[in-house]
Amino acid sequence: MERQFYWVEMGAVPQWLIDTPTRGSGEAFDEPWMFAEGRVLTDPGPLKTQISHPGVKRVFVFSVIEKAPIVSEAIANVFRTLAPDDVQLFPVTLEGEPERYFVVNATKVVDAMDEAQCEEVQHYREGTFPEFAGQYRWIYGLRIDPAKTEGAHVFRLKKFKTAFIVSEKVKNALEAVGNLGVSFERVTGPHEPH
């Protein structure tokens, strides 16, 4: 049976909004988007963040600007158990919250895009953002080839690192924890009729 994968995105549910993590000193990182780059990071040391907009507390959210995945201890345990070689977990202090939270850094980038099966693909226009040349600006109806995922359970896509992808096994375990601030869009198999 073909493995199924899902794009994890901010869910359309009431939830709190959390700022991008900074150093424990409060100093911003030179690359605040580093937790969404799909690369192994050297330990950044103590991290902290704050609630930028109060709302329903969720156990898995993305930070407001740079989309760093921020999760509770229970969710971190799912990643520790099912995808230990695919992620780094960095403790982050969430101001005003006694529970432990973690930033999930997906360390794998795979070239598994199935562009022909995607509904719509938008490329960066030539010359607009030279640093993004050859990358995708946005994709509707994203589809990947599960045979090219290199055995990973959590990864980002080459040329479209915005997408945080998890296997069905990870998705099911996350849903079993519950109270998520994220949604899952299937990115394998045929498209659902509109």
Dmax (CA) of the chain? 50
Query: What residues form DSSP beta bridges with 104?
Result: 89
Reference 188, options 78, 112, 110; nearest CA is 112
Residue range 34-75, pLDDT digits in tens? 999 999 999 999 999 999 999 999 999 999 989 999 999 999
**Amino acid making up residue 182:** V
* Alpha-carbon torsion angle 183, 186, 192, 194, nearest 10: 40
Q: What is the DSSP letter of 107?
A: -
Mean pLDDT, the chain, whole residue set: 93
Q: How far is residue 162's CA from residue 157's CA, in Å, rounded to a whole number? A: 8
Residue range 158-191, pLDDT digits in tens? 989 999 999 999 999 999 999 999 999 999 988 8
What is the full DSSP assignment across 10-32?
E-SS---EEPPPEETTSPPPSST
Number of CB atoms found within 10 A of residue 72's CB: 21
Question: Residues 73, 104: contact at Cβ < 8 Å?
Answer: no
pLDDT band at 135 (very low <50, low <70, confident <90, very high): confident
Give the contacts of 55 (CB within 8 A, at least 6 positions apart). 14, 15, 16, 17
Q: What is the DSSP letter of 3?
A: P
Residue range 6-34, pLDDT digits in tens? 999 999 999 999 999 999 999 999 999 99
Instruction: Provide the whole-model pTM.
Output: 0.92
Q: How far is residue 52's CA from residue 137's CA, in Å, rounded to a whole number? A: 27
pLDDT at 2: 66
Reference 156, options 40, 70, 76, 42; nearest CA is 40
pLDDT at 127: 67
